[in-house]
Structure 1
Amino acid sequence: MTISIWRYSHLVLALSSGLFLILASVTGIVLAFEPMQTATNGYNPVPLNEVRLSETIAALQQEYDEVLSFKVDQDDYILANVVTKEGDNKALYVHPKTAKVLGVPEPQHPIFSFTTNLHRSLFLKSVGRFFVGLVSFLLCLIAVTGLLLIIKRQGGLLKFFNKVQPDYFELRYHVVLGRWFLLPIILIAATGVYLSAEKFSLLPSTRVTHKIMEPEDHVDENIQASDLAIFKEITMDQVRLVTFPFSPFPEDYFELALQNRELYVHQYTGAILSEQPYPFTYLASRLSLTLHTGQGSVLWSLILLLASSSILFFIYSGFVMWRKRVKNSVGKSKFSEDESSHILLYGSETGNTNGFVLALQKGLIKAGKRVFVAPLNSYTTYKKATDIFILTSTYGEGEAPTNANKFLDKLETVVQPNQLNYSVIGFGSLSYPLYCQFAIDVAQNLRKQDNFKETLPLVKINNQAKETFLDWIEKYNQRTGERLRVEAYLPKSNFLKPKKFEVIFKTEVNVDQTFLLQLKPRKKIKFQSGDLLAYRPKEDQAPRLYSIAKYNGTLLLSIKIHEHGICSRYFSTLETGNKITANIQKNTHFHFPKKATSVTCIANGTGLAPFLGLIAENKKRIPLDLFWGGRTKASYQIYEPFLSTHLESKQLQQVHLAYSQEGTKQYIQQLLELHSKEIAEKLHNGGAIMICGSLAMHKQVLEVLDQATLTYINQPLRIFEEKGQILSDCY
């Protein structure tokens, strides 16, 4: 419930202040350039911590007829108000040691002047300042709620910078950029609120009140200010403002504004007549102004520029996310829960799962079913229901989405009047260690309940892959005799446009009924090893996916002929020169890890295919080993020519083979156990592991790797999974 409140608060605050935030962000971007421009003037030739105040005073008094005051600004420029020997009153930027003129202050550029007034008050004076302060406060709340949502999404504060689950562009980078810019945005907003509160006198006074000691009556008026001990002790980096005595009479004195206090100093004796520290509110006000404007720091100005720009992206991406949620929102069902024969319950934190829920709902209605749709938390008794479908994602650390977090408790207490045939579909990402964990929990609990009968085993859908969903629909139709058709209602997939490919090479079918097929695109297209070829045997059937090796600009596939496989048998009949039409699906989470210190590739059977191309991408020749499991040595022969080339080029360091039906009769997980210490140390040193093959193999390999990391480096495998060092593409 709490996370739901934060989410809706985040949305409402953003919607209510969006227009003002756009204006504030655009003007903030413009104003971020002003401190950068000022810093390029170069009026700070020496470090001020190397210059004594006495040196600067002596140089000024020697160079000019009279010195009224000077200040040190945020860029460490010294701006002096002086009377020249010609009698002219001037403001000049001067050298801290010689007092020579370095430049003269320029008036604020009209663009910056206009933008400053717009940014501060919208040209509405006090009313405008109030609105700007209010929007700053709302922005602060938006950023804080956003921060809490990211912490929850990532599974806790300690996992804040762990890999972000792949998703559509706007959602993914809303999180990615949020992790980097929410803290600067909170600082911008909080300092904006503070400065606004100060303008409306809502904070304690920052004024410093002095009580001046009586000066000595008899003093030597020939002593020069530059000879006073106190000015020799103070370096110029401590100084903000020095105001010179109005007259040579002893009752007039120097006024010094330092970084943390103010001093009144006798002009002949150097005695401190008054010393007052600045109150906290004054120091906070100065710090807020610096943090809010970036004055004196090119680096912080650049951060403010990027943070202001990111706000515009957050507004855009947040709007896209909101529209998707609205578009995918599940409306009121035509039939009530007691009238319906088919119940569709869903759990989703971001609304992505809802697209599949809507597609299934429309497909069932098209098939003539009475359908009731509701969140999992609305679970109750269903008088006439015969079938129940549960579609759910997992949130955080294997937890239920907000609208499903009460379901398991209700499942224990609600007794169904009739037997229900159930199916559970889980949505998640293999990049996360607790892949589809909540869906697993739901399926396990349903098996324990009376009056529930499983129609199909739990299916897990990786990265919203609609092909897996369509494959489940086909299996459901085969099991039940239904004729559900849902493809027309599904969300748009991430396919590229259909392309034509020509067969340029095909091996003979080996003893394992496996062969290699090489395809050349008829037109130039972009793809990488690890992407997927999607071939649809018929228009109304789900496409079959094949992992791609990019080899000399062509697609290389490894295909096993299945007894009842439509696509695999069709591909086995193709000859050189034949053409097919297929799609390429991007699979970015299984591309070559360019920042890894080493790569360990693990595959069984046809899962070796993408590695034939991925190894070729090892241009830097970092340590790369391959572990492969097959039935016999003959199984390996179709891959050997390709891998031999990689071994000769040093792009592949070693090949480790496990044969389950020959020699020592090893499975790949047993082979990995022999090298577990080496693999664990590579992971610890920043290496990556890529796994491709069957899901059964994937599970067993992860168990071996987890044991290895616990044994040799005292860390669970999930630590490396969360860092994105374990890449999987299994089926």
Structure 2
Amino acid sequence: MLRQLHSLPGLLAALFVVLLAVTGAILSLNPALERLATVLPAAGQISVAELTGKLAKRYPETEQIVRTPSGTLIVYFTRDGQVGADRVNPQTGETIGPYEPSSFSRWVKNLHRSLLLDTPGRAIAGITALLLVTLTISGVFLLATRMGGWRQLLQPVRGTLSQRLHIEFGRVVIIGLLLSALTGVYLSAITFELISEGIEAEPELPQQVSSGIPAATNTLAALKAMDLTQLRELVYPYPNDPDGMYSLTTEQGAGYIDQVSGEWLSYQEHDATHVFYEFIYMLHTGEGLWWLGIILGLFALAIPVMAVTGPLIWWKRHSSKPKFAANSAANTADTVILVGSESNSTWGFAKTLHDNLVQAGYRVHSAPMNQLASNYRSAQRLFILSATYGDGDAPASAKQFFQRLEKIHQQPTFATAVLGFGDRQYPQFCGFAKKVEETLSAKGWPQLLPLDRINRQSPQEFARWGNAVGKALGSELTLVHIPTRPKTTTLTLAERVDYGVDVQAPTAVLRFIASENNTEINLISRLFKRSGLPPFDAGDLVGIIPPGSQVPRFYSLASASKDGILEICVRQHPNGLCSNFLCTLPIGGNIEAFIQLNPDFRPASGKAPIVLISAGTGIGPLMGFIRHNWAHHPMYLYWGGRSPQSDFLYEPELNTYLKDKRLTELNAVFSRTNDRAYVQDKISLDGEKLRKLIKSDAQILVCGGRDMANSIMTALNDILAPLDISVVTLKVQGRYREDVY
């Protein structure tokens, strides 16, 4: 419901919101430009009476003096029968120049307020402002849910480029947009008299004035007591009118002044409603707060970006839900697949499972988890594939699942298997799928397979789960699902360093350059003196397509594109299709690869210490972080290998980095020596030192296998116990980051 509340107004109002945003950004410049061209006297420096005295010589037929919220002083006058208006210097009364409002600004203002359509346009503008309020509020709640709670709002964002741009821009400008939208709605309500502006209480019009010769304006007591900085408007009486009077409006109120005695004839303070109206008007326009106008204008410029990325996200989500062929009815199917998805990506995996089961001869019914039926008459097995939304919450297509499940009391005749999709970087990794599995188990539903989880939509992990499903069914089942594959780049192996043969762990550091065959890329690189590589940083991932397979394998990058090479560290596995291909690739050999950004796995900016922990090839991205540590931030590396003689990865480079202070301390341990130890053992031994580093706001980055990462987490939790915190606490603070596999 929340997503629909956000998406529908956005799609309906996108064009109008962009129009109001762009025109609002243009208008936001006016107060600042006006402020630059304005001379502002200090408070108490000059009175209204003094000003009128200085103006009397140059403008003997003054009709009106207006002071704008930005401080511009305008004199309206008659000269030789012609009406004119000048901007004047308030300190000297000298003419600055004619007052000529910009016709372009006036046109933009009308476009902003009424879309050049008068009353109907004002109504559309008001409704658009109201929709923008809905968009901003629903967007905040959606963001909090997506990020896993309000405390996670400022954490790094994952997703497609459109998603990242939409969220990053949104959370920067959300307060400004909400302020502009709310004040716009208020002013629109004033326009249509839905609420009061608070000006009904006009000062009482005097019935009698003093008789006699009008006094000079610079002698009038009321004007002498009025500071110029409080002036809004002074209207002069008609010449030679014995019943005339001055009309004076200030920031505090308005009234009439006797032209003979100079005393107040009547005065009415602005009521609280009008004061509030003027405050809101100032917030919306920036008039009187030019710096706020500039800020709101800059914020408004984010709206076109969000108006483009928002529909792109919606369209991708809408179009990504696949169509299922041979989708049997719920009551006739022997196999049921229920899907919990937020952005429809899980549906792609479900379709792969659906199609393979149909080809194997099963009658399959696939549907959202929200459509859980009270009974599946012919079902023999139930598969639940579900993502997790936010902090362990149900995704959109599974919001009603537990409500429907509670109404089912009979024991099913079919067995269940739950597969979760998520990201290990988040504390509630596959949290909703885990709740589903625990609930089904508590209700006593038979289990076909235990809960399994897929990290970052890994095709390899999904294929592995498919093998387990095939064994459980007694059928051969190969699940090959490839999310939309990016365009690949041809890279050429330029250098390799081999390790680990003596300890039966052949490992290679491979360095690639852009292929000579990439004509377009190389032409651009020659023109701009670039490497020809796609942009990436250390810690990002490269997806490599091995020959004979359509499933990419991902490796963490040990270099950045600015280094001129793409560097990875690969261990050769006996049955590893991609690792065998890479570790036997000759110099000059080519690969097809693409970059997958991984912005959450890299050191945060700042001077806090950095603790890097890995084992085996997990050292790759950590080497990239150390290599680029030219600012010499404190960096401590903990790494585990097998033998210092055979597989001490990057040993020469590490010694160099120790000497030039890019690496503060190296702690390497080996499991095939007399002092046999693993990296988690060294972590435990250095507990006191690490505790001090963590108290000094140190951040920790861990890269390597899941088992190693779990051991590191256990060791660190023991170290952190005296501080009354845990690794989960550090994760929430953004100080503990993992890239594990």
Q: TM-score range by the shorter chain?
A: 0.7 to 0.9
Q: Evaluate the alpha carbon distance shift between residue 679 and residue 93 of structure 1 in structure 2; reply closer, same or farther with a 3 A threshold.
A: farther
What CA distance in whole angstroms lies between the structure 2 residues aligned with 1:667 and 1:334? 51
Which position in structure 1 is the counterpart of 2:519?
Answer: none
Which position in structure 1 is the counterpart of 2:313?
Answer: 321
Q: Evaluate the alpha carbon distance shift between residue 444 and residue 498 of structure 1 in structure 2; reply closer, same or farther with a 3 A threshold.
A: farther
Q: Evaluate the alpha carbon distance shift between residue 215 and residue 417 of structure 1 in structure 2; reply closer, same or farther with a 3 A threshold.
A: closer
Q: Give the superposition deviation at 1:614.
A: 2.2
Which position in structure 1 is the counterpart of 2:146?
Answer: 153
Q: Which amino acid aligns with 2:734?
A: G
Quick check: 1:290 aligned with 2:282?
yes
Q: Give the superposition deviation at 1:293.
A: 3.3
Quick check: 1:433 aligned with 2:442?
no
Which position in structure 1 is the counterpart of 2:171?
Answer: 179
What CA distance in whole angstroms lies between the structure 1 residues aligned with 2:643 and 2:441? 39
Aligned 8 A contact 2:500 2:647 in 1: no
Q: Give the superposition deviation at 1:644.
A: 0.6
Quick check: 1:131 aligned with 2:142?
no
Q: How many residues align?
A: 717
What CA distance in whole angstroms lies between the structure 2 residues aligned with 1:558 and 1:376? 41
Over residues 312-342 of structure 1, what are the superposed CA-to-partner deviations in whole Å (9 max), with x where a residue is unaligned? 3333222222222222336577212222222
Which region of structure 1 is more displaced relative to structure 2, 617-626 or 564-573?
564-573
Which position in structure 1 is the counterpart of 2:736?
Answer: 726
Q: Which amino acid aligns with 1:493?
A: R
Q: 180, 193, 199: which one pairs with 2:185?
A: 193
Aligned 8 A contact 1:647 1:653 in 2: yes
Q: Which amino acid aligns with 1:693?
A: G
Q: Evaluate the alpha carbon distance shift between residue 465 and residue 57 of structure 1 in structure 2; reply closer, same or farther with a 3 A threshold.
A: farther
Q: Which amino acid aligns with 1:163?
A: Q
Which position in structure 2 is the counterpart of 1:626?
Answer: 637
Which position in structure 2 is the counterpart of 1:311?
Answer: 303
Quick check: 1:8 aligned with 2:19?
no
Q: Evaluate the alpha carbon distance shift between residue 202 and residue 548 of structure 1 in structure 2; reply closer, same or farther with a 3 A threshold.
A: closer
Q: Evaluate the alpha carbon distance shift between residue 68 and residue 115 of structure 1 in structure 2; reply closer, same or farther with a 3 A threshold.
A: closer
Which position in structure 2 is the counterpart of 1:114?
Answer: 107
Which position in structure 2 is the counterpart of 1:583?
Answer: 593
What CA distance in whole angstroms lies between the structure 2 residues aligned with 1:264 and 1:719? 66
Aligned 8 A contact 2:49 2:223 in 1: yes
What CA distance in whole angstroms lies between the structure 2 residues aligned with 1:227 and 1:687? 71
Instruction: Describe how 1:625-664 pairs up with structure 2 within 5 A.
Output: 625-634=636-645, 637-660=648-671, 662=673
Over residues 617-662 of structure 1, what are the superposed CA-to-partner deviations in whole Å (9 max), with x where a residue is unaligned? 1121211111123345446633321211111121111112344565
Which position in structure 1 is the counterpart of 2:626?
Answer: 615
Quick check: 1:57 aligned with 2:57?
no
Aligned 8 A contact 1:188 1:292 in 2: yes
Secondary structure at the counterpart of residue 558 of structure 1: strand
TM-score normalised by the chain length of structure 2? 0.86
What CA distance in whole angstroms lies between the structure 2 residues aligned with 1:368 and 1:301? 66
Q: Give the superposition deviation at 1:70.
A: 1.3
Q: 554, 566, 573: which one pairs with 1:545?
A: 554
Q: CA RMSD in A?
A: 3.5
Over residues 126-145 of structure 1, what are the superposed CA-to-partner deviations in whole Å (9 max), with x where a residue is unaligned? 23322332333233323332
Which position in structure 2 is the counterpart of 1:420?
Answer: 415
Which region of structure 1 is more displaced relative to structure 2, 242-251 or 369-378?
242-251
Secondary structure at the counterpart of residue 492 of structure 1: coil
Q: Which amino acid aligns with 2:266?
A: S
Aligned 8 A contact 1:250 1:266 in 2: no
Aligned 8 A contact 1:680 1:708 in 2: yes
Which region of structure 1 is more displaced relative to structure 2, 353-362 or 547-556?
547-556
Q: Give the superposition deviation at 1:592.
A: 3.7
Which position in structure 2 is the counterpart of 1:239?
Answer: 231
Which region of structure 1 is more displaced relative to structure 2, 657-666 or 321-330?
657-666
Which region of structure 1 is more displaced relative to structure 2, 664-673 or 390-399?
664-673
Q: Evaluate the alpha carbon distance shift between residue 131 and residue 546 of structure 1 in structure 2; reply closer, same or farther with a 3 A threshold.
A: closer
Q: Give the superposition deviation at 1:373.
A: 1.4
Q: Give the superposition deviation at 1:603.
A: 0.8
Q: Which amino acid aligns with 1:12?
A: L
Which position in structure 2 is the counterpart of 1:144?
Answer: 137
Q: Give the superposition deviation at 1:32.
A: 3.9
Secondary structure at the counterpart of residue 191 of structure 1: helix
Aligned 8 A contact 2:509 2:568 in 1: yes
> Which segments of 5 or more consecutive residues in structure 2 lack a partner in the other structure?
516-531
Secondary structure at the counterpart of residue 570 of structure 2: strand
Aligned 8 A contact 1:514 1:558 in 2: no
Q: Evaluate the alpha carbon distance shift between residue 689 and residue 55 of structure 1 in structure 2; reply closer, same or farther with a 3 A threshold.
A: farther
Over residues 503-550 of structure 1, what are the superposed CA-to-partner deviations in whole Å (9 max), with x where a residue is unaligned? 543345242514233232242313432233444445346333332212
Q: 539, 542, 564: which one pairs with 1:530?
A: 539
What CA distance in whole angstroms lies between the structure 1 residues aligned with 2:487 and 2:57? 77
What CA distance in whole angstroms lies between the structure 2 residues aligned with 1:450 and 1:181? 49
Aligned 8 A contact 1:532 1:586 in 2: yes
Secondary structure at the counterpart of residue 697 of structure 1: helix
Q: Which amino acid aligns with 2:311?
A: F
What CA distance in whole angstroms lies between the structure 1 residues aligned with 2:34 and 2:263? 37
Instruction: Describe how 1:68-107 pairs up with structure 2 within 5 A.
Output: 68-82=63-77, 90-107=84-101
Aligned 8 A contact 2:636 2:665 in 1: yes
What CA distance in whole angstroms lies between the structure 2 residues aligned with 1:587 and 1:346? 27
What CA distance in whole angstroms lies between the structure 2 residues aligned with 1:484 and 1:238? 82
What CA distance in whole angstroms lies between the structure 2 residues aligned with 1:308 and 1:317? 15
Q: 360, 380, 393: which one pairs with 2:387?
A: 393
Q: Evaluate the alpha carbon distance shift between residue 650 and residue 232 of structure 1 in structure 2; reply closer, same or farther with a 3 A threshold.
A: farther
Which position in structure 2 is the counterpart of 1:384?
Answer: 378
Q: Evaluate the alpha carbon distance shift between residue 330 and residue 541 of structure 1 in structure 2; reply closer, same or farther with a 3 A threshold.
A: closer
Quick check: 1:279 aligned with 2:288?
no
Q: 556, 562, 567: which one pairs with 2:573?
A: 562
Q: Evaluate the alpha carbon distance shift between residue 146 and residue 515 of structure 1 in structure 2; reply closer, same or farther with a 3 A threshold.
A: closer
Aligned 8 A contact 2:219 2:262 in 1: no
Secondary structure at the counterpart of residue 458 of structure 1: strand
TM-score normalised by the chain length of structure 1? 0.87
Q: Evaluate the alpha carbon distance shift between residue 550 and residue 142 of structure 1 in structure 2; reply closer, same or farther with a 3 A threshold.
A: closer
What CA distance in whole angstroms lies between the structure 2 residues aligned with 1:716 and 1:235? 62
Q: Evaluate the alpha carbon distance shift between residue 357 and residue 310 of structure 1 in structure 2; reply closer, same or farther with a 3 A threshold.
A: farther
> Which segments of 5 or more consecutive residues in structure 1 lack a partner in the other structure?
none
Q: 12, 17, 24: which one pairs with 1:21?
A: 17
Quick check: 1:368 aligned with 2:361?
yes
Instruction: Describe how 1:445-594 pairs up with structure 2 within 5 A.
Output: 445-447=439-441, 450-455=444-449, 458-462=452-456, 464-473=457-466, 476-477=469-470, 482-484=475-477, 487=480, 490-494=482-486, 496-507=488-499, 509-511=501-503, 513-523=505-515, 524-526=532-534, 527-540=536-549, 542-550=551-559, 553-575=564-586, 577=587, 579-589=589-599, 592-593=602-603
Q: Give the superposition deviation at 1:693.
A: 0.8
Q: Which amino acid aligns with 1:539?
A: G
Over residues 24-46 of structure 1, what are the superposed CA-to-partner deviations in whole Å (9 max), with x where a residue is unaligned? 34444444444454444x12254
Q: Evaluate the alpha carbon distance shift between residue 578 and residue 202 of structure 1 in structure 2; reply closer, same or farther with a 3 A threshold.
A: closer
What CA distance in whole angstroms lies between the structure 2 residues aligned with 1:419 and 1:495? 42
Q: Evaluate the alpha carbon distance shift between residue 676 and residue 68 of structure 1 in structure 2; reply closer, same or farther with a 3 A threshold.
A: farther
Which position in structure 1 is the counterpart of 2:522?
Answer: none
Aligned 8 A contact 1:260 1:277 in 2: yes
Secondary structure at the counterpart of residue 559 of structure 2: strand
Aligned 8 A contact 1:79 1:93 in 2: yes
Runs of 4+ in structure 1 off by over 6 angstroms are 213-219, 248-251
Which region of structure 1 is more displaced relative to structure 2, 176-185 or 500-509?
500-509
Over residues 77-97 of structure 1, what are the superposed CA-to-partner deviations in whole Å (9 max), with x where a residue is unaligned? 11122457x887532111111
Over residues 555-579 of structure 1, what are the superposed CA-to-partner deviations in whole Å (9 max), with x where a residue is unaligned? 443333434444444544455x262
Quick check: 1:346 aligned with 2:339?
yes
Aligned 8 A contact 1:466 1:493 in 2: no
Q: 690, 693, 698: which one pairs with 2:709?
A: 698
What CA distance in whole angstroms lies between the structure 1 residues aligned with 2:450 and 2:492? 36
